[in-house]
Structure 1
C-alpha cells in the first residue's frame, strides 16, 4: 500500500462523509461546515491527480461560495431555538438500505475493473497556461455571463431578505 493510496482512501471517505452529513444535518451552519469538508476533500483529490490549479480554484471559488451559501441560508430561512423533530419512518430505512446496496454494488464493480499498468501520458505540462488561453479566447462570454448571473442572484437574495425583514 502506497501513501498515495492511503491519501486517496482518506480523502474519498472525507468527501463521501461530508456529503452524507450535509444532507443529514438540520441546522444550516452544520450543513455548511459539512459541505466545506466535502469541497476541501475534493480539492485534495485534485492535488493527488496533479491538477494543482484546479485544486486551488476549488478552494478559492468554493470557499467564497460557501460564504455566500451561508449568507443565503441565514438570511432566507427562519431560525428557531428548538431542534427540528422528525418522525421515524420505515421509508427512511428502505432508502438507507437502498443507498447501502448501491454503494456495495459500486464498490464491487470498481474492484473488478482491470486497470492498466501503463501511466497516463500528460503531454501538456503547462496546464495553467492552456486553461487561461481557452478561458479568455473561446469561453470569455460564458465566463462573464456566469459572473453577472451570480451577482444578480446575490442582489436578489438581499432584496428578498430585506422585504421579509420589513414585513415582520
Structure 2
C-alpha cells in the first residue's frame, strides 16, 4: 500500500513537469487518468491478491545494506551529473505550446479522421461492454 501511495506522489511530480512545460491540459489528463483511475486499479489488485507480510520472504541484512549503498551511489551520480549540466535552453519560443486551444486546433484540423475513427471505436467498445454486462432475458412464452 505504501508503494502505491508513493507512486501517486511520483505521478504528481511527473505532472509538475507538464506544468513547467506549459502543458496544463496534459497535466490534468495525467492526474485524472494515472493518479486517479490507474491507481484505483492497482489498489484493487493489491487488495484482491491479499498479500501479507508472513507470505513474503525475508531479506537479509546484507542485501538491505547493499541496496542502501547502491541507492546512495545512484543519488550521488545524479547530483554530480546535474551539477555539471549547463542551463537548458527554452523548449519553445511560442507561448501557445501545450494549451488546450492549440491542441484542439491541431486535433480537429490535421488529425480529424483518426480522432473520429477512435471515437467510433470507443463507442463500439462501450456498447459491447454494456451488451455483455446485461443479464440475458428468459423467453416466457
Give the TM-score band, short-chain normalised: 0.5 to 0.7
Unaligned runs of 5+ in 1: 1-28, 152-168
Query: What TM-score does the superposition give when structure 2 sets the normalisation length?
Result: 0.61
Q: Is the 8 A contact 2:8 2:39 kept in 1?
A: yes
* Shift of residue 83, structure 1, vs aligned partner: 8.8
Do structure 1's residue 36 and structure 2's residue 8 form an aligned pair?
A: yes
Distance of aligned partners of 1:89 and 1:140 in 2 relative to their CA distance in 1, 3 Å threshold: farther
CA deviation vs aligned residue, 1:48-101 (integer Å, no higher than 9, x gap): 3322111111111111111111112212x1244869573423133222212211
Cα RMSD after superposing both structures: 3.5
Distance of aligned partners of 1:37 and 1:138 in 2 relative to their CA distance in 1, 3 Å threshold: farther
Which protein is richer in helix relative to its size? Answer: 1
2:85 maps to which of 98, 107, 113: 113
- The structure whose RCO (Cα within 8 Å, separation 6+) is larger is 2
| Count of aligned positions | 117
Unaligned runs of 5+ in 2: 127-141
* Shift of residue 139, structure 1, vs aligned partner: 5.6
